[in-house]
């Protein structure tokens, strides 16, 4: 293998080693120096300045996770619009048609989950 090729990765390796050593040193330092005085006030969950009600370990509804996954899915699909917008002029009509079909498929999925009631919070 070419020595120059491997040498080009040396700064990355050095950077990773420095980051690992620094983060390990900071964790060790905070463990050794940090105060360890647990109190009831520190153990209570913080809810935006409001006194907590009920159990903090209460499970979330499945509906919450479904809506969160749908949000992430639609958000990730929307990310594909940015590279397309950058090279739109180079793609011309082909790029427009392909992105139009992509958006139609996303819209069809959105209408489907809307009609199924997946976005209802009740």
Reference 71, options 110, 103, 34; nearest CA is 110
Q: Is 122 within a domain?
A: no
Per the structure, the complete domain to which residue 83 belongs is given by 3-115
Average pLDDT per 10 consecutive residues for the chain, totaling 122 residues: 77 96 96 86 75 74 85 85 89 92 90 88 74
| Count: domains in the chain | 1
pLDDT computed for residue 75 by the predictor: 85
In a domain, 120, yes or no: no
The CATH number for 93's domain is: 1.20.58
pLDDT value at residue 68: 87
pLDDT of residue 64: 84
What pTM value is reported for the model? 0.50
- Whether residue 121 is contained in a domain is answered as no
């Amino acid at each position: 293998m070419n020595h120059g090729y491997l040498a080009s990765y040396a700064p990355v390796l050095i950077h990773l080693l420095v980051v690992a050593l620094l983060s390990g040193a900071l964790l060790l330092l905070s463990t050794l120096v940090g105060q360890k005085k647990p109190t009831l006030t520190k153990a209570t969950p913080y809810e935006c300045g409001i006194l907590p009600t009920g159990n903090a370990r209460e499970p979330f509804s499945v509906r919450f996770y479904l809506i969160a996954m749908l949000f992430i899915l639609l958000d990730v699909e929307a990310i594909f619009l940015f590279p397309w917008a950058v090279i739109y002029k180079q793609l011309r009509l082909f790029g427009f048609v392909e992105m139009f079909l992509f958006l139609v498929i996303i819209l069809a999925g959105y209408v489907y989950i809307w009609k199924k009631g997946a976005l209802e919070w009740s």
